């Protein structure tokens, strides 16, 4: 799957690393409501494509997952500032 790396020069590999790091940083630095979104831009950094369509949970299961995710932020980032901005505002 990653055979293309074998044909890359050192400079090409370094550029690939920079591109991937930038994508990971954009994802890592997401904040507020952007934490909850589908991230095809991140996946587009891969040289291969996928025709796999995500399985989307029904609403009750989805919302339970959102609550679990938010609880994990409280546990893993208790010092993070809190915001009151509604989705779609500013």
88 within a domain of the structure (yes/no)? no
Kindly indicate the confidence band of residue 11, based on its pLDDT and cuts at 50, 70 and 90: very high
Answer yes or no: is pLDDT of 90 > 80. Answer: no
90 within a domain of the structure (yes/no)? no
pLDDT tens-digit map of 35-53: 888 888 999 999 999 888 8
| Average of per-residue pLDDT across 26-41 | 89
86 within a domain of the structure (yes/no)? no
72 within a domain of the structure (yes/no)? yes
82 within a domain of the structure (yes/no)? no
Domain total in the chain: 1
- pTM for the model stands at 0.76
Q: What is the DSSP string of the chain?
A: --GGGGG--HHHHHHHHHHHHHHHHHHHT--GGGGGS--HHHHTTSSS---PPPPPPPHHHHHHHHHHHHHHHHHH-TTS----PPTT--
| Average of per-residue pLDDT across 58-76 | 96
Domain containing 46 equals 3-76
């Amino acid at each position: 799957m990653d055979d293309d790396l074998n044909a890359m020069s050192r400079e090409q590999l370094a550029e690939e690393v920079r591109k991937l790091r930038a994508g990971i940083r954009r994802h890592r630095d997401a904040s507020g409501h952007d934490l909850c979104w589908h991230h095809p831009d991140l996946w587009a950094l891969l040289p291969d494509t996928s025709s796999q369509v995500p399985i989307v949970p029904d609403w009750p299961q989805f919302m339970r997952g959102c609550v679990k995710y938010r609880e994990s932020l409280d546990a893993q980032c208790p010092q993070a500032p809190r915001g009151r901005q509604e989705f779609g505002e500013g």
